[in-house]
Amino acid sequence: MSGDSRNFATPLASHGLDPEGSVHWNLGWEELHESAVELGEAKLTADGVLLATTGERTGRSPNDRFIVDEAGMAEEVLWGEVNRPTAPAVFDRLLAKTRAHLNSAENLFVKDAFCGADPEYRMPVRLVSEKAWHASFMHNMFVRATKEELVSHVPEYTILHAPDLRSSMSDGVNSDVFVIIALDRKLVIIGGTHYAGEIKKAIFTIMNHILPAKGLLPMHCSANTDGDNTALFFGLSGTGKTTLSADPGRALVGDDEHGWSDNGVFNFEGGCYAKLIRLSEEDEPAIYATTKMPGSILENVVLNADGTPDFDNGSLTQNTRGSYPIEYIENRTPDSMAGNRRMSCS
C-alpha cells in the first residue's frame, strides 16, 4: 500500500480523529483492490474483478437510518418513516464510539471526491473507512478529483465509516446497525453494516436537503439523451432504472441520482450501481461487459467453481450489485450532463 495522495488542507484531526494505525490517502483502485484482497476483505473473480460479500445486511437498513433533530431542523426535514429523528445525545454517543473504533483500526482508507458532475453545483465529500473495498466503492461511485484538486480538497460533508463497529439498544438506536446524518455538523456516521449502498444513499440524502434551497431539483432517476431530448426514468431502488437508461441508441447521463438546474440535468455520481441478479450478456450487454472489467466491484455475487460469476444465483441475496465507473459505459455523455431543451419522464 503506497502512492498516497495526502490531503494537507483537511487533516483527519479536523474530524476528531487521531489514528494509531496506518492511514492510506486517496489510493487508486488498483492499490485499493490489492489491499482489500491482502486484508481478506474481498477476492478476485477469474477476470480480476473485486468481489465482496456484506454478511447479514445485503441491502439498506431504513429502520436504522436517522437524521439528527438539531436546533433549526424542525422546519427543514419532513420527519416520518423515511426521515427518522434522533437526539443529538444519541449521535454524540455513537460518534465518540465511531472515532474510538477508527482511531484503533490497523488501517484507515481516506477517499476524497465530489458529488455532482456540474462544477457549479458539485459538493466536495470525503469517506474515512476501515475497509479498502469501501474506499474503492467511493472511488467508483463519485466524481473523481484530479491530483491538483486533491491537494486543496476541503470536504463539505464527511462520512466516518466503521462497518465492524456494532451498536446496541442502550445507544438509543434500533439494532446493532446505525446510519446517522448530522446535517448541521456536516457529518455522517455508519456502523454495523458492510452494505456499500449506505454510503451513496447518505450523500443523496444530503443533496436532497441542500439543493432545493439553491433552486435545484434533486431526483432519484436514471437519465439518457439523444442530444436533443433528455429522458428521465424515475423509480425506487431495484426497479430497473439502470437497465432502462442503458439504451444503445442513446447516451447515458447517469443511472440513479441527478440534479435539474437551469443549466440542464447533471449526474450526482461518477459511477453506476447496477442490480445484477439474472444479468445476461444478451439482454444487457453494456452492463454485463463491466462485470469483466478490473476496477469494477461485485457485491454479494456467488462465484462458480472456475471463478466466474453466477448471476442467476440469489442464495446470498436477490440484491446482488455491481459498482463501476461511468467511463466503463462506452455510450455516455462525456461530462455526465445533458440539456433541458426537451425533456421526457417515465
- For the chain, which residues make up each domain, given as ranges? 12-214, 217-345
| 4: pLDDT strictly greater than 60 | no
- Residue 208 CB burial class (10 angstroms; 0-12, 13-18, ≥19): middle
Predicted local distance difference test score (pLDDT) of residue 69: 95
Residue 267: CB atoms within 10 Å: 29
Helical H segments across 176-270, by residue range: 197-210, 241-245
Out of 41-45, 133-137, 167-171, pick the least confident. 167-171
Q: Which grid cell is 87?
A: 437526539
Mean residue pLDDT across the chain: 95
Q: What is the CA radius of gyration of the chain?
A: 19
Q: What is the rounded CA–CA span in Å between residue 206 and residue 23?
A: 26
Would you name the residues annotated as active-site residues? 60, 201, 220, 237, 241-242, 256, 321
Query: How far is C-alpha 94 from the chain's CA centre?
Result: 21
Q: Tell me the C-alpha to C-alpha distance, in Å, between residue 225 and each of 249, 264, 278, 298, 340.
A: 9, 12, 27, 27, 10
AA letter at 120: E
AA letter at 300: N
Which DSSP category does 304 fall into?
A: P
pLDDT digits (tens, 9 = 90+) for 69-127: 998 787 889 999 999 999 999 999 999 999 999 999 999 999 999 999 999 999 999 99
- What is the second-level CATH architecture of the domain 217-345? Beta Complex (2.170)
Residue 275: CB atoms within 10 Å: 19
Predicted local distance difference test score (pLDDT) of residue 229: 92
| 15: pLDDT strictly greater than 90 | yes
Predicted local distance difference test score (pLDDT) of residue 9: 78
Q: Which grid cell is 106?
A: 490497523
User: Model's pTM, two decimal places?
Assistant: 0.95
AA letter at 260: W
Strands 217-225 and 257-261, how do they pair? antiparallel
Q: Tell me the C-alpha to C-alpha distance, in Å, between residue 316 and each of 53, 106, 136, 301.
A: 9, 29, 22, 7
**Closest to 204 in 3D by CA, of 111, 89, 28, 65:** 65
What mean pLDDT do residues 231-256 have?
90
What mean pLDDT do residues 60-75 have?
90
Q: Which CATH class is domain 12-214?
A: alpha beta
Task: Tell me what percent of the residues of the chain surpass a pLDDT of 70.
Answer: 96
What mean pLDDT do residues 311-334 have?
97
